[in-house]
Structure 1
């Protein structure tokens, strides 16, 4: 049996060794191949710290991270970083090349990859994110959603098994956000890439297979979106569920329990 894509065991981290206050404490979870996990929580809950621990930018005080069965440590992190990629809020901070294809090829060039193989990988990565017609464009002149897809393509060229997005949609307009969500859904479904999205946006979290909610550096909830939204009253639920609750408060006979956008549309059109 293959190991999980990602296995986190009793992860504990503190920024100041002189203090006993931990940013993360005894965090354990697994993520499988082709699974989409949304990590949510209020400011200061430890979400971004977790993302940096998962890619080896920070070293835990206790606990471990295994990627495809291999422990992440000082000896393995450079090899494992080709298997797990991190996308930040502002993709322009990650751009190197003067054209889209040059930027996607940058990491491959650093690996001294043969030109023919590199060309194929770049073309495949751009096709996977729907930007094959933008190869010669200046990445800085693209829309916000397109810039994020260029950043994702740069990671896809390395053939990763895990993508982590740290608030990657926070600066996007609704159209760009929708396009990026569709890209991620296709990567998960067609390429079986594991996705971990760190987010405040509950509409983004709703698209995930599971939600992991952090509170004060510990896991408060871990379950399907419907389950977590019903259990946790402090979360700003997606719009469809907000509408269901408002209709219920006004005396309408709406279905009991959480509803997705598609379920709400079907119910309204019945």
Structure 2
């Protein structure tokens, strides 16, 4: 039986209290332990605002956020942040240490963690993201993908239950993006960590267990990638589905239903199709 680690109930927020229009209006959602939830939507739909609310960087006007059964408020947010961490679009804004390992250890030092435990957690976090060999490097001299790995390691060292990615992969080249997505899939499988990714990338969203579509600050739709991309034809689908639709237009004998990347690759190999 799954355990719910994030509960959002009728959440509303606006930056300018003088205006009546909300950035978010009556948002309700849940995230289970070990689940990957993607949040998509056009610019201005409230995606990044939702991420900031979930980690307590801003406070909701109304509604409730529960993280592992603790209601988020001004007094509980420091306790809640032990369970949830966020990685932003630009990882350099999160770097503090002069070496990779020092940066990952920084938050643990602030907790006055014993040295042996801190060393174990740093080693483990760097190993999880494949950065152990660069532990003595200056974070600012790393590639974009490596910087994001270090930022994720810094959060993982705190052993959170939930990892929030706020457009964390948007600035990466395709190769770095694919590598990091593989890292995240492995983390989800090995550590049973919950992932909530705010993204414009439909290929990233398609990897999630569920997708929430925000529009004008409200939940327009929610479901699996298959359910969402079938129900919302105006959404640009991930590449495998885009390819399937194009092949249908060319009257190729391809299944008339949504296909994941794995399903598309398997079908292409079996059919030996020349596009």
TM-score tier, shorter chain, comes to over 0.9
Structure 2, gaps ≥5 residues long: 271-275
Aligned to 2:234: 234
Q: Superposition pairs for residues 83-162 of structure 1, below 5 Å?
A: 83-162=83-162
TM-score w.r.t. length of structure 1: 0.98
Deviation at 1:21, TM superposition (A): 0.2
Whole-angstrom CA distance in 1 between matches of 2:54 and 2:155: 16
Q: 1:174-205 CA distances to partner (integer Å, 9 max, x unpaired)? A: 11101110111011000000000000000000
Moved more, 114-123 or 66-75: 114-123
Aligned to 2:63: 63
Whole-angstrom CA distance in 1 between matches of 2:70 and 2:29: 16
Q: 1:120-156 CA distances to partner (integer Å, 9 max, x unpaired)? A: 1111111111111111111111111111110011011
| Residues 251/3 of structure 1: CA separation in 2 closer, same or farther (3 Å cut) | closer
Match of 1:148, SS?
helix
Whole-angstrom CA distance in 2 between matches of 1:168 and 1:96: 18
Match of 2:171, SS?
coil
TM-score w.r.t. length of structure 2: 0.96
Deviation at 1:2, TM superposition (A): 7.7
Aligned to 1:54: 54
Q: Is contact 1:100-1:134 (8 Å) kept?
A: yes
Matched residue count? 270
Aligned to 2:220: 220
Aligned to 1:33: 33
Deviation at 1:74, TM superposition (A): 0.6
What RMSD, in angstroms, separates the aligned Cα atoms of the two structures?
1.1
Match of 1:25, SS?
strand
Q: Is contact 1:3-1:69 (8 Å) kept?
A: no
Match of 1:252, SS?
coil
Aligned to 2:250: 250
Deviation at 1:3, TM superposition (A): 5.0
Whole-angstrom CA distance in 2 between matches of 1:267 and 1:179: 24
Q: Superposition pairs for residues 2-17 of structure 1, below 5 Å?
A: 3-17=3-17
Structure 1, gaps ≥5 residues long: none
Q: Superposition pairs for residues 173-192 of structure 1, below 5 Å?
A: 173-192=173-192
Match of 2:213, SS?
strand
Q: Is contact 2:12-2:22 (8 Å) kept?
A: yes
